[in-house]
């Protein structure tokens, strides 16, 4: 392999290492019993992940289905899901992955807001509305929150013209929960992020060094 190829590979590996974000918390929907509280089933060391709770909406939920009725046609600040993530060190959030479902095929929109600005503005939004009301995979980009000092609360608001009786929220059809084995399997709720470390890891420094050596060699050859 030519030296320039090694340099390109090193640079690509460096970018991959920087962009990768580990999982902070996972919320498995299968054990959910319908009490309006979805507990974290896996939490990364050093982090605290509170339960996802429902506020102001009516429970119709069961295993694999953390969804509720009573949503309005526009965002109602008194109706939402809430979760708090924290760490004794400063940290950043990257993505939140999930699947959503509605008992009606009418489009629905979920938005996420944070306590950092008093839940005043949308960080990201996701709209779904499968013609057959199937589980739909989605994600929220949370990187714009920047460095979080110690704790942040997220709220998720849903709006739709489906009517107050339609149930909407997080859902999947994974085994062994309700609907397990259906083709629209979906996914559990997962948050990714990392400790805000201003000092690069040794492996990252090594990749940077390799890339710089390769670039220097190319200049000398030229």
Q: Please answer whether residues 88 and 139 qualify as being in contact, where contact means their C-beta atoms are separated by less than 8 angstroms.
A: no
The residues, ordered by sequence, that sit 6+ positions from 1 with a Cβ below 8 Å of its Cβ are none
DSSP per residue, 127-143: EE--TT---EEEEEE-G
Supply the pLDDT for residue 5: 45
Q: Please answer whether residues 173 and 99 qualify as being in contact, where contact means their C-beta atoms are separated by less than 8 angstroms.
A: no
List the domain boundaries for the chain: 21-198
What the block records as the tokens of 150 is 């110690």
Helical pair 202-221 and 3-19, crossing angle rounded to 10 deg: 150
How far, CA to CA in Å, does 202 sit from each of 19, 152, 159? 16, 29, 46
Low-confidence ranges of the chain (pLDDT < 50): 1, 3-19, 198-201, 203-215, 217-218, 222
Q: Which residues of 66-91 are buried (b: 16+ CB within 10 A; e: fewer)?
A: bbbbbbbeebeeebbbbbebbbeeeb
The residues, ordered by sequence, that sit 6+ positions from 71 with a Cβ below 8 Å of its Cβ are 57, 79, 108, 158, 159, 160, 162, 164, 166, 168
Supply the pLDDT for residue 198: 47
Nearest-CA neighbor of 13 among 213, 211, 219, 214?
Answer: 211
- Quote the pTM value: 0.80
Supply the pLDDT for residue 131: 76
CATH classification of 21-198, choosing from 2.70.98, 3.30.360, 2.40.128, 2.60.120?
2.60.120
Q: Please answer whether residues 102 and 133 qualify as being in contact, where contact means their C-beta atoms are separated by less than 8 angstroms.
A: yes
Residue found by looking up tokens 């949370």 in the block: 142
| Tens of pLDDT, residues 168-185 | 999 999 998 889 888 889
Supply the pLDDT for residue 98: 98
């Amino acid at each position: 392999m030519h030296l320039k190829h090694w340099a390109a590979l090193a640079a690509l590996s460096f970018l991959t290492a920087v962009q990768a974000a580990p999982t902070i918390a996972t919320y498995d929907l299968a054990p959910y019993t319908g009490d309006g509280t979805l507990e974290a089933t896996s939490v990364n060391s050093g982090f605290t992940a509170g339960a996802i709770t429902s506020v102001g909406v009516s429970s119709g939920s069961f295993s694999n289905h953390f969804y509720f009725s009573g949503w309005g046609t526009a965002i109602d600040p008194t109706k939402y899901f809430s979760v708090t993530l924290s760490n004794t060190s400063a940290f950043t959030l990257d993505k939140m992955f999930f699947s959503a479902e509605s008992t009606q095929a009418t489009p629905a929109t979920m938005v996420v807001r944070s306590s950092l600005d008093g839940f005043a503005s949308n960080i990201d939004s996701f709209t779904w509305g499968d013609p057959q009301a199937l589980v739909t995979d989605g994600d929220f980009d949370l990187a714009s929150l920047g460095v979080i000092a110690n704790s942040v609360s997220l709220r998720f608001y849903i709006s739709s013209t489906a009517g107050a009786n339609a149930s909407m929220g997080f859902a999947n059809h994974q085994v062994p929960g309700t609907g397990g084995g259906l083709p629209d399997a979906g996914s559990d709720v997962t948050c990714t992020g990392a400790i805000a470390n201003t000092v690069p890891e040794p492996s990252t420094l090594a990749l940077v060094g390799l890339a710089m050596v390769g670039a220097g060699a190319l200049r000398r050859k030229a």
